Structure 1
Amino acid sequence: MESITDAVKKMEGYDQLRRQLDRIKQQILQDPYVASFMEANPGINEVNLEKGLTKLYEYSKERHNCDNCPGLERCPNLMQGYQPVLTADKDQIEIFYEKCFLKKQDEKQKSMTALIKSYFIPRDILQASFDRLHSIDQDRKEAIGSAAEFVKKVAAGEECKGLYFYGKFGVGKTYLLGAIANRLAERQISSLLVHTPEFLREMKNSLSDGSFNEKMELLKTVPVLMLDDIGAENMTNWVRDEIIGVILQYRMMERLPTLYTSNYDFSLLEEHFSYSQKGGLEEAKGKRIMERIRHLTVPVFIGGDKNFRSLQ
């Protein structure tokens, strides 16, 4: 009885099909990537080569897609963000996929972003980096150095004081907090960066939606808390005594670092915290809050005559 293979060979057009397949085979084998693989694996015989021809074709096509990469979002490969790798397992051709550089970078960025929680912070601040700060003028170098040293100590597991950045509007205080948050995330340390005035308004609203305790717990326990623009909030006894005071007391007891930015120096901030809705001043309560801040932070003045945004 005639075999199927022999029967196929006698079919009309078989010779033409065979010639086309041979041309495709030669094109695949002449591909530099495939040729390099075959040269490195001389044990692959003709039978295994025929069996693995479709894998070689797939590899060639996908590998050249990577050479002409249009970006992760437009990746044309079968598995977006993955590049092909050929192996010869017992001289049989196999193909598998591994994450490309762009895919790894994207996942790393998403992982870092997940480590940085924020409330009411502009997008450009959440993308801040120390690399862009090295070119900033001399007046800001001390602050940048203090920030870098803080990250170094926290990453090393050392106990260290937080930082209190103060100076006039527009000198780059908030951007510096963003750079710290991103550098900490690179070292797998989570942080929370909040715009204090807006967040405190949110805390008042959270009393009605049931999320107050959850938010308080987050601010109290996050490994690194950053309170941006403290002193710009509308001061009330409730904000001072039940929110800021409680958070700072807990963090002081647990020795969790807290960073601040403010337009006020310590003396002016103490006056702000001494405000009383009932009229007059409650100096003892203002001093109590400031004692917690002074005890666990180092004041760092950020100078500069030019607006930070004009220096970027």
Structure 2
Amino acid sequence: MESIKESVKHMPGFDKFQERYEQMKHQVLSDPGVMRFLRENPDISDVHAEKLLSSFYTFQNEQHACRNCPGLDKCPNLMQGYRSELTKVRQTVELRYKPCELKIHDEQKKTMTSLIKSYFIPKEILEARFDRLYKHSIDETRRNAISKAYEFVQMAGTGQQVKGIYFYGKFGVGKTYLLGAIANGLAEKGIHSLIIHTPEFLREMKSSLSDGSFDSKMDLLKTVPVLMLDDIGAENMTNWVRDEIIGVILQYRMMEKLPTLYTSNCDYDMLQQHLSYSQKGGLDEVKALRIMERIKHLSSPVFMGGNKNFREDF
């Protein structure tokens, strides 16, 4: 009885198939990467190499795709974002995969993003970087603020107690953007942070009482390694907001020595006046003073000035 192999040889079109196969084999075995691998592994015979054509072919195609990279999202490789490598394992050859530079960068970006939590903060703020800040900051007070912010990032995570910063100045000088740069700087060091737009977040906290998420949000603000309260002083102040939210959060963070940063249009004195507002009429200066003591204990004031609106550059 004729073997299957012999039967295939007599099938119509076999000669053309054999011709195409030989062309493909020559092309694959002539690939610089494959040739280099075979030179490094001289114990692989020609017969053995021919049996490995499938692996070599995949390797060749994926290397070609990498040389003409269409981008991570359009990567045609078997494992998207990974480079294949020929590896000799005992008497056989395997394809092993390692992430390419784009994949590594993408994973690093995802990791950094996961380290930064935010509430009601625009996307462009969360993409802020110190190098962009330096490029656009010609005012001396801005440069000083950026230097203080950079020093904070460098000190964070060193085991030393780090005091937060209270950035204040008029609208549009780049205070919130600076918080974004700090958050990304911390993320590069593997440090979690949370940025919140204080007025919007405090409004949400009221509704959190009914949906059952109040305690979990309070715990997050109290315990996050670095908390950033953006635009404090712009919220509608009530006794409940001051005493049951801001006061409780800052008291916990002060006791646990967790750094807190702020941005505000108010200096310390103006913020104290804002916090002293009482719904019952008049002023509650004692409670306002208690909050300010915590803020001052947790931060150092840094003024940001300048006539040019920072937002116009972004």
TM-score of Structure 1 vs Structure 2, range by shorter chain: over 0.9
Higher mean alpha-carbon deviation, 285-294 vs 17-26, is at: 17-26
Q: CA deviation at 1:201?
A: 0.2
Deviations 1:141-187 (A, max 9, x none): 11111111111111212211100000110000000101111111111
Structure 2 residue aligned with 1:180, among 182, 194, 197? 182
- 2:64 is matched with which residue? 64
- 1:131 is matched with which residue? 131
Q: Secondary structure at the match of 1:169?
A: coil
| Matched residues, number | 312
Structure-1 separation of matches of 2:240 and 2:169:
27
Structure-2 separation of matches of 1:10 and 1:113:
62
What's the C-alpha RMSD, in Å, of the aligned pairs?
Answer: 1.6
Structure 2 residue aligned with 1:270, among 269, 272, 275? 272
Deviations 1:187-231 (A, max 9, x none): 111011000000000001111111111111111111100000000
Give the TM-score, by structure 2 length.
0.95
Higher mean alpha-carbon deviation, 122-131 vs 224-233, is at: 122-131
Contact 1:223 1:257 in 2 (8 A): yes
Q: CA deviation at 1:88?
A: 2.2
Give the TM-score, by structure 1 length.
0.95
| 1:50 equivalent in alignment to 2:50 | yes
Q: Secondary structure at the match of 2:194?
A: strand
Structure-2 separation of matches of 1:16 and 1:196:
74
The AA in structure 1 aligned to 2:206 is K
Deviations 1:126-146 (A, max 9, x none): 111112112121421111111
Contact 1:153 1:160 in 2 (8 A): yes
Q: CA deviation at 1:31?
A: 2.1
Structure-2 separation of matches of 1:214 and 1:11:
72
Structure 2 residue aligned with 1:252, among 242, 251, 254? 254
Equivalent residues in 2 for 1:269-308, closer than 5 Å:
269-308=271-310
Contact 1:226 1:259 in 2 (8 A): yes
The AA in structure 2 aligned to 1:70 is P
Structure 2 residue aligned with 1:158, among 152, 157, 160? 160
Q: Secondary structure at the match of 1:288?
A: helix
Structure-1 separation of matches of 2:209 and 2:3:
82
Q: CA deviation at 1:14?
A: 3.9
Deviations 1:53-87 (A, max 9, x none): 01111111111111111111111112211121111
Structure 2 residue aligned with 1:261, among 249, 260, 263? 263
Q: CA deviation at 1:4?
A: 4.2
The AA in structure 2 aligned to 1:206 is S
- 1:34 is matched with which residue? 34
Q: CA deviation at 1:19?
A: 2.6
Q: CA deviation at 1:35?
A: 2.4
Structure-1 separation of matches of 2:220 and 2:94:
49
| 1:201 equivalent in alignment to 2:203 | yes
Q: CA deviation at 1:90?
A: 3.4
Structure-1 separation of matches of 2:313 and 2:306:
11
The AA in structure 1 aligned to 2:69 is C
- 1:23 is matched with which residue? 23
Q: Secondary structure at the match of 2:37?
A: helix
- 2:232 is matched with which residue? 230
Structure-1 separation of matches of 2:10 and 2:219:
79
- 2:110 is matched with which residue? 110
Q: CA deviation at 1:260?
A: 0.1
Q: CA deviation at 1:114?
A: 1.2
- 1:148 is matched with which residue? 150
Q: Secondary structure at the match of 1:202?
A: helix
Relative to 1, partners in 2 of residues 1:12 and 1:208: Cα closer, same or farther, differing over 3 Å?
closer
Structure-2 separation of matches of 1:30 and 1:50:
12
The AA in structure 2 aligned to 1:74 is K
Contact 1:192 1:226 in 2 (8 A): yes
**What stretches of structure 2 of length at least 5 have no aligned partner?**
none
| 1:189 equivalent in alignment to 2:191 | yes
Q: Secondary structure at the match of 1:155?
A: coil
Q: Secondary structure at the match of 1:189?
A: coil
